Chain A
Amino acid sequence: MAKVMVVTSGKGGVGKTTSTAALGAALAQGGQNVVVVDFDVGLRNLDLVMGAERRVVYDLINVVQGDAKLAQALIRDKRLDTLSILPASQTRDKDALTEEGVARVMAELEEKFDWVICDSPAGIERGATLAMRHAEIAVVVTNPEVSSVRDSDRIIGLLDSKTIKAEKGERVDKHLLLTRYDPARAQRGEMLTVEDVLEILSIPLLGIIPESEEVLKASNMGSPVTLSNAASAPARAYHDAARRLMGETLKMVVPNDKKRFFGKLFTRRAA
């Protein structure tokens, strides 16, 4: 039975797409059969972040409207054969997504994969509510910053009311993924701490992704950070988060890159 998970946040630019790609790749590396689905119709980016932008032929809207078969639209990752991507449409608008159409595609994906990970668009409109509609697990991506925390609170409210689970009187399994975290600044009182955010949002913590240059490097190269540099701090944090999603209990740590200072120095000299 497939697990349907939405990666959502309310606010834009906090790391939904980065996290979808990184978690999807980490789960796929663990042997799970994973599909990542881009729900950001009109502003698709998951394909680009994953380096599949030149292989897009058909998209989610084509499948929803019956113009293409699901198998024609799915793109298999070149690095991991257990990872697939279903891109969003770049030319259509979000009204092209119908609730029935999405339900049909989700049912078909659930048959084929172990994990269906839906990358939600920012905002609280149709695209975002459709992305969360079928989810049983939600990853709420939050930056330690006031506007992001406020929007996450709003999204948590929607997860508790607009999902199929909520309408049946059940609960979506919600998790907090704190991204762009800087432990040193938090310690100096310049940034909300993990504890602050957890106290305010009161949902369990899935992982803490440290602020890191590696994230931009990975997206420049079109690779999930968990694949491009698995030893980097954000990659280790995402790998831990993925293992927690698989039910493992791991100590919560914030990995850092700084130990590799001398290593970096050498690679720069050599280059």
Chain B
Amino acid sequence: MNVFSLFRRRGSAPVARERLQLLLAHERATVGRSDLVSILREEILAVIAKHVTVDRDKIQVKMERGGSVSTLEVDIEIRTPSQAELALSA
């Protein structure tokens, strides 16, 4: 313990808050709601796949919980058909 740690003692609660906020932001994205996110991922994939061809690896589903609202971010990459493929299907 030194002189500076005496001053810093005031700040243990803010440290706790910051550590928690960082940790939970990470845990919520991975373990916490893994069930819900994976279920959403599968069902969204199934609906999209009915209409367009999608690569399973090109779908990202993220959920973030905020103060008053939570956001669900769905990122789906759909391949743009090349000119040759368009000509074939026409």
| Inter-chain contacts of B17 with A (CB < 8 A) | 192, 196, 199-200
A190 and B13: CB pair below 8 A?
Answer: yes
A99–B52 Cα distance when bound, in Å, is 41
Closest to B70 in A: A202
Segment with Cβ contacts to B, from A14-22, A30-38, A100-108, A149-157:
A149-157
Whether A193 touches B32, Cβ cut-off 8 Å, given contacts A199-B67, A200-B24, is no
A189–B12 Cα distance when bound, in Å, is 6
A200–B27 Cα distance when bound, in Å, is 13
A240: shortest Cβ distance to chain B, in Å?
24
Closest to B66 in A: A202
Contact string against A for B residues 4-46, beta-carbon threshold 8 Å, 1 for contact and 0 otherwise? 0000011111101101110110011001110110000000000
Partner of A153, one of B9, B10, B32, B67: B32
A151–B65 Cα distance when bound, in Å, is 16
Q: CB within 8 Å of B: which of A4-46?
A: none
Number of A interface residues in the complex (CB < 8 A): 20
A10–B32 Cα distance when bound, in Å, is 13
Partner of A192, one of B13, B31, B35, B36: B13
Tell whether A191 is near chain B: CB-to-CB under 8 Å.
yes
B13 and A196: CB pair below 8 A?
Answer: yes
Tell whether A168 is near chain B: CB-to-CB under 8 Å.
no
Partner of B23, one of A150, A190, A196: A150
A157–B65 Cα distance when bound, in Å, is 10
Q: CB within 8 Å of B: which of A113-160?
A: 145-146, 149-150, 153-154, 157, 160
Tell whether A259 is near chain B: CB-to-CB under 8 Å.
no
Q: CB within 8 Å of B: which of A156-195?
A: 157, 160-161, 186, 188-193
A190–B12 Cα distance when bound, in Å, is 6
| Inter-chain contacts of B33 with A (CB < 8 A) | 157, 160-161
Closest to A149 in B: B20
A83–B64 Cα distance when bound, in Å, is 41
Q: CB within 8 Å of B: which of A189-230?
A: 189-193, 196, 199-200, 202
| Inter-chain contacts of B65 with A (CB < 8 A) | 202
B36 and A189: CB pair below 8 A?
Answer: no
Instruction: Give residues in A with beta carbon < 8 Å to B.
Output: 145-146, 149-150, 153-154, 157, 160-161, 186, 188-193, 196, 199-200, 202
Additional pairs, 4, CB under 8 Å, beyond known A146-B16, A146-B20, A190-B13: A145-B16, A189-B12, A193-B13, A200-B21
